[in-house]
Structure 1
Amino acid sequence: MMTRRDLLGGVAAAALVPLAGGVSGAFAAAKAAGGYCRHVDPFIGTGGHGHTFPGATVPFGMVQLSPDTNTAGWDACSGYHIQDTTILGFSHTHLSGTGVGDMMDVLVVPRVGPVRLDPGTPEVPGEGYRAPFDHADEQASPGYYRVRLKDSGIEAELTATARAGLHRYRFTQRKDGAHLLIDLAHGFQDPAGSVTRITGATLRLVGDDTLVGGRQVHQWGQGRVIHFALKLSRPFAAARLYTNDHALPEGAREVQGAALKCVLDLPDAASAPLLVKVGLSAVDVDGALRNLEAEIPGWDFDGVRAAATAAWEAELGRLAITKGGDAADLKIFYTSLYHALLAPTLFSDVDGRYRAMDSTVRQLPAGDNNYSTYSLWDTYRALHPLFTLAQPPRRVGDIVGGLVRMAEESPAGPPVWPLQGTETGCMIGWHSAVVLAEAAAKDIPGVDYARAWPIFRKQAFQGQTSGLPEYRRLGYIPSDTVEEAVSKTLEYAYDDWAIARLAEVAGALDDARILRQRSLNYRALFDRDITFMRPRFTDGSWARPFDPRGMGHSRKWRDFTESNAWQATFLNQHDIYGYMAMFGGPAAFEAKLDELFTTSSDLPDDAPPDIAGLVGQYAHGNEPSHHIAYLYAYTGAHHKTQARVRSLLKTMYRADPDGLAGNEDCGQMSAWYLMSALGLYAVDPVTPIYVFGSPLFDRVEVAVGEGRTLAIEAMGNAPDSPYIQSVIWQGKPYTRSWIRHADLVRGGRLVFTMGPKPNPAFGAGKDNQPPSFGGSTA
């Protein structure tokens, strides 16, 4: 397995699963007031290290049509950064908030003047096909993007359906040499700036208005395949094909190679807007053509844009804020919801064909969809719990069921970080097990859990990679033989907890018992004398030197994954009471939590940038910390959870391009905000409950289940009133600091009374604290 830092060191709304049931009446009210989309700012996260993109897409869409401003370096992972001042062109696939780059398929470059085949440099864009632009000339909203290019005056507009993108270009100046460049060699580059690794690319001209082709890319997703079909709204006058920047003879209609490009001449470009529509398919060119014709049969740009907006309005309306919050709060909330719905991405054609994890082409049952782009190390924590609460069960079943299908098809076994038919193997653990176990615990229909069990069992009991043999033999992974051994031990232990749930569903009760016991392996790395998780050697001795802020005991490799001992010490989501006793009990554990948030935020020079958003040594900018503020609830000091969560909501998210504390990570950073703003969080997603936090808005209506509504209200809420005084559920007093998923998805009314001072009695009693390690959720 690899980590992100390892790698970097080297329109139809109907095209997706239809929404089941309606959303609340707040949808109509919001639409009359201008809609939810008006609160979304796609530029949030495009600064700092958020790694988001501002372009056009629909919820869970295969196509993300967006400008590319850079293709090399960590902050080019999405192809766009707010500090850039030149645009290379507009490509059709992008990653949202990842820590590694790829995609940026099928770059379309509108130009006037002489043909430039090289992109040039940001410093001297005129020497290549880059174009300077001002951010004042940009506009973005859900499903739409617009920009004016400074040198040519070309106005570009973008919109999208699920499997196709639509461009509209206005060549405002009557200049000679108007043309489109299609650069099939464009894509994310290694940090050193080497060319995108491509094999087996093809381009073919069809008639005088169509270009088709495809390529196989070897970047993060090794060997992923993409095909496209591009059509113009009026014929091109001439076309030229290039390989390795050498022109083919005049009249050539097809080319094969690696670095391929095409120029389409448009002498009448200024006479009327030019529309370009592009369909994608991972299967073949015929699939791309079918997707294009099914989703954009005509040339109605405004109609496609309206359909994209309507799709977003329907999805954003599933979490309807009906009272409370200022303009910035609303912008942060709905932009977070927008980002949370960008992945996983659709990865099957309109006819149900898809490219499987073993590179074969397969057929889905009628009505099913295949998905890709699962950032599981990140998203199991809050994004998938958000889906189980506020997405239709059919869509959740599709997304989760796809993991079973991938596990069966992939030579690598259980999914780790699947991207477009390939397994990147990025990050640690097999957290697809957590997503499946959570869905099983919440009775999500349409998932064949029994089919998944043998594959995950084989990994748990026979897997040979990434320290698993040592983990089974010693009960921990030794840091003198395996890198990132502490984090791997802790995350494998949690995966054992999840796989035990799959064993129960499959009726393998003896295996479930073994795995539950093995999920306690985390204990082998806890040093009771200093109350820290720390690296241990094969002979059982503690690794030295030890610095809880350090990345490891030596420079050879790190002992932790994107974290240090401070964060890793709280990476326990499933056996919190058993773990708490190792500290000396609830009071000692509470004191250790206090120390985490109040100790110095200093880090060593070799700390990765992922450790960001620091409060003490709590790192909100990276996922291992995301559940920690909620652990106070298990000590009986729930008021400290309330205060800390409200503080993080207000300080770690801003309505600015640099408004995220770390990488967005395919929706996880935003999902933490969304769930916490509702006042709910799944500390252990495999246990189907939510721990209360501090609800941010006065009233939110959540579409749950099949056409039901959960209303969450916060009476007396205010910026200086983060503390829960009391709770009423379904009209009756409620004293627990947690609530069952099964109760919430039936719909109802959850009312918090808030105040400026803590109520230490709320959630303090043992019977009112959240269950853990299989404790009763009755």
Structure 2
Amino acid sequence: MRTSVSVAAFGVVAAAASAFDPLQHVNLFIGTSNGGNVFPGATVPHGMVKVGMDTDGDNFAGYDPNPLANVTGFSQLHQSGTGGAVPLSNFKLFPIPECPVNNNHFEQCLTFISGRKTLRKLLPSGLPDDFASPGYFSTNLSTDVRAELTATRRTALHRSRASSPELSIDPTTGRMLASGNYATSFGIARYNAYACVDFRGEGDGYDFSGPSEWGPYKINYPDLNGVNLLQHYYSWGSEHGGLMFFPANPNGSPSSILVRVGVSFISTAQASQNAEEIPDFDFAGVVSDAEDQWRDILNRVQVNSTGVDDDTVTLLVSLPDAYRPWRLHWRKPQMELNRTLLRRVLLQLYVFCLLLAVCACAHVTKGHLPDAIPPRMSVSSLTTAVLTTLQMSLDDPENFAHIVRGMINIQQHQGWLPEAREAGQQQFIQGGSDGDEILAEFYVKFSKYAAALNVSATDLYNALLADAEDTPPNWNLQGRQADVWKEKGYIPSDTTYAGGANTKQVSRALEYAFDDFAISQVAKMMGKTADAKKYASRAQNFHNSWNENVTLSSTSTGSGLPPNNSVVAGFFQPRFANGTWNFTDPRHCSVHDPTQSTCFLNAIRRDGFYESSPIVYSQYVPQDTAALIALQGGPDAFTARLDWIFTSSYFDPTDEPSQQIPFMYHYANAPGQSTQRSRQLIASSFNTSLNGLPGNDDSGAMASYVVWYLAGMYPLPATQQILLSSPYFPEISFTNPLLGKTTTLRTKNFVGNPTNGTGGTVFVKSVSVNGKPYKSNCYLDWDVFTSGSLVEIEVTDDIGVTCGEGKDALPPSLSTGGYD
């Protein structure tokens, strides 16, 4: 794998740089191994199509860098960085140079996956000969076939080349239409997908009027001259598809086969229309256009890399992942699949019941989809998407508005805001109604521009109220358990209610509280004083889950506390419907859990927490960390608890519940500790290798997390504040195209970054904005970015720096009036 072919994340301004191309500084293969599940294939920012290679390896995104993993096909739809089951990977294409059975007889061709799969050629390093850059992917198969992929928003373009002339392909007038019904990867829903595939030859004199042989197949039984799967006995769970042979180039010159695949979640007619996004089969032109789209996004952030190691610059490859998870697709018209395959090209329509029709199809002119029709979307979980949309606030507000419109549209049709979605279908919610945070983030940041961005403030607020006040028929899939939350201010652990699983009671309650805080901020900006007070009060419901009498002492196995009878007192805990307390060991679901339990999705779990321990969740009150500090005994006890969480390995860099913890020292007036912990995290858990992510990317959450840390900031959703540390670069700038403003963070005395994240001249001593001392060394208000400012950061080697001296120096909290 040629990791030297990088995909850049940021524009980099080196000391003597000119005409810098950001696309040359990113490695898309970071995190494709070790459970990162990153997708390195071809797509455009927010593209519906994510065309890439599928293997029989372990990566849920299809691609696996393991040289022993076989290639099983090249499919049009993928997710990046998710767990659960393998998602999407629909409409696999597979180039077959020859059928090694019975002299290439059509009906003896091996079409089923286990028969056709093949290894890749290897580089001298022993890695597969794969290449990836923004909007492009290629690989060399052991069968001497070179496969190349590129994409527009809703259409994939494949190119297959072979060293033997007989694999060359001619353009065909045939078209293959396909559709299938598939299971989602993290829920009970199923979705329909449609494709339209056209083929064309590329090369001197390579022209043909149609395939020489064709037919549908089931598993390993091609049916010569068949035109429809109805001519087969097909069943659920089988492999079905179509196989075509094409003539060799008569002049023997090198040739390629181009395969255009339009995809839709609506109909084959819409797939056909979407395929016309590539009317001329211009592979190089599509690659170039995709690169231009990525440059436009990536160049909105510029960094000066003087004195910064190359790996730190390359880590910014995370940025494209922040723009890949949001797959936007329209409620109406979409696309289809064409026909015209290479000499031996296999269209694999895999998973469950599938209807494949091969027929002539009228030419469909390119259609324009009106902006008034908002898109549906695919994203792993809105819990993980919050970080990506916060990043979009800085540099991509127009697409952010597009996402918000789509979410509101879904609420208007389905009653509640979407949470975990795949191919437009509901999947299992992991936490609260976190779509609230995304809508609130948009409105708090861009309320003045909402109308211009075609976002109705009234509709936005009504969507928030639907989540807050109305209980859905199934809160496993949308909304929240609103009736019980409103009645008790917590979720009882001993009562089963119709409408959803009685699990995750404490972690859901903590997220519900923050969701209500987000709504309170929108209500306040809209002048809805009573609502703002009501939801701010509900945001304080985290107190109802705090049990000060639960303790963990140094005598507890694996506690990590000093052996001097140390005690940590007070944790969030489950409680019964009658108000008395249930008990969950604070170590539960941590590396020190005596029972070695996990806290993943399971309907019979009654421990109250999801994907992390009570120790970690007991640090989650982002709307009122000042109150949390008081509950935990004051600033000194609070920072001591944070230290213990890190030194005893309760902090888990692989999952979202821990992500805010490194920056929590800010609220105890110890920002130097936040800076050191966050830098130690980057040094120990993230790198530019295939194993460069500590866990799965979760649809861009990990990628955005890294970008924020490298930029020296951490976002506070649905607020006007961004926490501040020191950037990894002497200068980093963000351009907001909507506002036409650029904000630059400049480190006045930058001397580099400590290799292991410890020590160094990186601790923020003072901050000025446009030449004037700023009120805090710990955060920036949003107006710093809307006005376009120069933020100058003076750093020191003294870890004991503070947030400053004024009344507004500490980051805001509800209980201190910081959000009044």
Q: TM-score range by the shorter chain?
A: 0.7 to 0.9
User: 1:24·1:703 contact (CA, 8 Å) conserved in 2?
Assistant: no
The counterpart of 2:377, out of the listed 361, 372, 379, is 372
Q: Write the mapping of 1:623-772 to structure 2, written as runs, cut at 5 A.
A: 623-682=656-715, 684-704=716-736, 705-717=738-750, 718-719=752-753, 720-736=760-776, 737-763=778-804, 766-772=807-813
User: 1:590·1:635 contact (CA, 8 Å) conserved in 2?
Assistant: yes
Distance 1:284 1:351 in 2: 8
**Partner of 1:423 in structure 2?**
426
**Partner of 1:443 in structure 2?**
446
Give the CA deviation at 1:219: 2.7
* Residues 27 and 93 of structure 1: CA distance in aligned 2, closer, same or farther (over 3 Å): farther
The counterpart of 1:301, out of the listed 268, 283, 298, is 283
**Partner of 2:631 in structure 1?**
582
Distance 1:402 1:82 in 2: 35
1:329 equivalent to 2:337? Answer no
**Partner of 2:560 in structure 1?**
none
User: 2:119·2:141 contact (CA, 8 Å) conserved in 1?
Assistant: yes
1:344 equivalent to 2:317? Answer no
Counterpart secondary structure, 1:642: helix
* Residues 372 and 30 of structure 1: CA distance in aligned 2, closer, same or farther (over 3 Å): farther
The counterpart of 2:645, out of the listed 596, 621, 630, is 596
**Partner of 2:357 in structure 1?**
none
* Residues 636 and 215 of structure 1: CA distance in aligned 2, closer, same or farther (over 3 Å): same
* Residues 106 and 27 of structure 1: CA distance in aligned 2, closer, same or farther (over 3 Å): farther
User: 2:749·2:794 contact (CA, 8 Å) conserved in 1?
Assistant: yes
**Partner of 1:61 in structure 2?**
47
The counterpart of 1:107, out of the listed 61, 80, 92, is 92
The counterpart of 2:536, out of the listed 516, 519, 538, is 516
Matched letter for residue 635 of structure 1 = A
User: 2:380·2:420 contact (CA, 8 Å) conserved in 1?
Assistant: yes
Matched letter for residue 310 of structure 2 = A
Distance 1:421 1:457 in 2: 22
Give the CA deviation at 1:431: 0.4
* Residues 264 and 159 of structure 1: CA distance in aligned 2, closer, same or farther (over 3 Å): same
User: 1:98·1:666 contact (CA, 8 Å) conserved in 2?
Assistant: yes
**Partner of 1:8 in structure 2?**
none
User: 2:767·2:774 contact (CA, 8 Å) conserved in 1?
Assistant: yes
Identity percentage of aligned residues: 27
User: 1:645·1:694 contact (CA, 8 Å) conserved in 2?
Assistant: no
Structure 1: stretches of 5+ with no match in the other structure: 1-22, 121-126, 181-205, 355-362, 600-615
Q: Write the mapping of 1:85-100 to structure 2, written as runs, cut at 5 A.
A: 85-100=69-84
* Residues 398 and 273 of structure 1: CA distance in aligned 2, closer, same or farther (over 3 Å): same
Moved more, 132-141 or 395-404: 132-141
**Partner of 1:198 in structure 2?**
none
Task: Give the structure-1-normalised TM-score.
Answer: 0.83
Distance 1:30 1:37 in 2: 15
Q: Write the mapping of 1:17-416 to structure 2, written as runs, cut at 5 A.
A: 32-33=19-20, 35-70=21-56, 75-83=58-66, 84-100=68-84, 101-114=86-99, 115-120=109-114, 127-134=115-122, 135-150=127-142, 152-173=143-164, 208-220=173-185, 222-234=189-201, 235-243=210-218, 246-248=221-223, 250-253=225-228, 255=230, 259-268=239-248, 271=253, 272-293=255-276, 295-324=277-306, 325-333=308-316, 335-348=317-330, 365-366=370-371, 370-391=375-396, 393-410=397-414, 413-416=416-419
Q: Deviations over 1:380-430 (max 9, x none)?
A: 542111101111x3222111221111111226x221112222111331211
Q: Deviations over 1:230-257 (max 9, x none)?
A: 1111432221112465544634356486
Moved more, 623-632 or 378-387: 378-387
User: 2:175·2:198 contact (CA, 8 Å) conserved in 1?
Assistant: yes
Aligned residue pairs, count: 691
Counterpart secondary structure, 1:661: coil
Q: Deviations over 1:449-483 (max 9, x none)?
A: 32143344243233164654433333212233422
Q: For the pair shown, which has the larger CA radius of gyration, 1 or 2?
A: 2
Distance 2:29 2:766 in 1: 38
Give the CA deviation at 1:742: 2.3
Matched letter for residue 45 of structure 2 = P
Counterpart secondary structure, 1:542: coil
**Partner of 2:491 in structure 1?**
477
Matched letter for residue 49 of structure 2 = V
1:562 equivalent to 2:537? Answer no
Counterpart secondary structure, 2:446: coil
**Partner of 2:346 in structure 1?**
none
Distance 1:208 1:432 in 2: 46
User: 1:166·1:301 contact (CA, 8 Å) conserved in 2?
Assistant: yes
Moved more, 763-772 or 296-305: 763-772
User: 1:290·1:350 contact (CA, 8 Å) conserved in 2?
Assistant: no
Distance 1:570 1:239 in 2: 62
User: 2:169·2:248 contact (CA, 8 Å) conserved in 1?
Assistant: no
User: 2:382·2:434 contact (CA, 8 Å) conserved in 1?
Assistant: yes
Matched letter for residue 811 of structure 2 = P
Distance 2:151 2:49 in 1: 7
Distance 1:402 1:553 in 2: 45
